[in-house]
Amino acid sequence: MVSRPFAIGNNPTIDGQFSIPYTVASALLDSCVFLGSFEAETVKEERRKRLAEKVKVLMDQPVKDKRSLGPVIVDIHTFDGTLYSHKVEDFKGSPGRPMTRDDCIEKFMRCSRYVGSPFPEEKLKEYINKVYDLDRLEDATGIMKLLAKA
């Protein structure tokens, strides 16, 4: 399902989320893939569609562990014949490459920019500190109060 050629249907966000060619094109264009990569207007950009058309997905057989996401190899062939290749065995956040506390905080802060009414950064930092001290809290009321809108 995710390896077929990229096409936009009734829901561009879902079409982008479930397309390896689209996510590869977005990674090449933006240096990363994040929530903004899947906004409908972004998914519809002509340059993304054109680049996604050039992405071919090949699956090596047999897959040793069908639950695994890796290894993955990305090969980029340029017009002048140069080949760039990169292999990833363990993805960030996997058991083989767990996210650090700083990685988690950075991702949380980036995600927080996509809520309807973003929270002030100081409130987010306070929330992060409470979550990391969750095992020492008597109850979660303080966390819920931090998230409540004033």
User: Along the 150 residues of the chain, how does pLDDT read in single tens digits?
Assistant: 688 999 999 999 999 999 999 999 999 999 999 999 999 999 999 999 999 999 999 987 666 776 677 788 999 999 999 999 999 988 899 888 999 999 999 999 999 888 888 788 888 888 898 888 888 888 878 777 777 754
How many residues does this entry show for the chain?
Answer: 150
CB-count burial class (<10 Å; 0-12, 13-18, 19+) for 26: buried
Contact 71, 87 (CB under 8 A): yes
For residues 111 and 62, what is the distance between their CA atoms, to the nearest angstrom?
A: 36
Predicted model pTM: 0.81
Domains of the chain (ranges; CATH) run 1-57 (3.30.1330.120), 58-98 (no CATH), 101-147 (no CATH)
- φ, ψ for residue 77 (rounded to 5)? -100, 120
Distant-in-sequence, close-in-space partners of 54: CB < 8 Å, separation ≥ 6 = 25
Using CA atoms, how far residue 43 sits from 20, 31, 52, in Å, is 13, 16, 11
For residues 15 and 6, what is the distance between their CA atoms, to the nearest angstrom?
A: 8
